[in-house]
Amino acid sequence: MTDPFTQHGAFSWCELMTTDVAAARKFYGALFGWEMEDFPMPEMTYTVVKAGGNGIGGIMKMPAQAGPMPPCWGTYVTVNDVDGIAKKAQTLGGKIIVPPTDIPKAP
């Protein structure tokens, strides 16, 4: 099996932004049997969701900059050149809402 974190075009992570992290942890943990591991960060605690011991996604409190956006799941796709793909998306008619951003690695 290929590694979705290194394979260009692979869906590699899913992330829930929610107003109620505790309720989401309880619900999805019971529904899917997911394991949860918390990582304290300067602005919040990020919960890594694990299935079979492997990190597959995360749960986080809705950030202030999300404004009135409702809670939602987002997906990440691995690419070889994020800046190049962002430019290509624009040339194909896509709109960049949040520019390419480095994501910190968990300890």
At residue 102, the pLDDT reads: 73
**2 domain residue, yes or no:** no
Cα distance between residue 57 and residue 47, in whole Å: 8
**81 domain residue, yes or no:** no
Residue 2 has pLDDT above 60, yes or no: yes
At residue 105, the pLDDT reads: 65
Give me the CATH number covering residue 50. Answer: 3.10.180.10
* Chain-centroid distance, C-alpha 7: 17
At residue 104, the pLDDT reads: 65
**90 domain residue, yes or no:** no
**84 domain residue, yes or no:** no
How do residues 8-51 score in pLDDT, each as one tens digit? 999 999 999 999 999 999 999 999 999 999 999 888 999 999 99
**18 domain residue, yes or no:** yes
Entry pTM: 0.82
**101 domain residue, yes or no:** no
| For residues 59-73, average pLDDT | 92
End-to-end CA distance of the chain: 25
Q: What's the total number of domains in the chain?
A: 1
* Residue-range definition of the domain harbouring residue 64: 11-76
Cα distance between residue 25 and residue 22, in whole Å: 5
How do residues 81-97 score in pLDDT, each as one tens digit? 999 999 999 999 999 98
**19 domain residue, yes or no:** yes
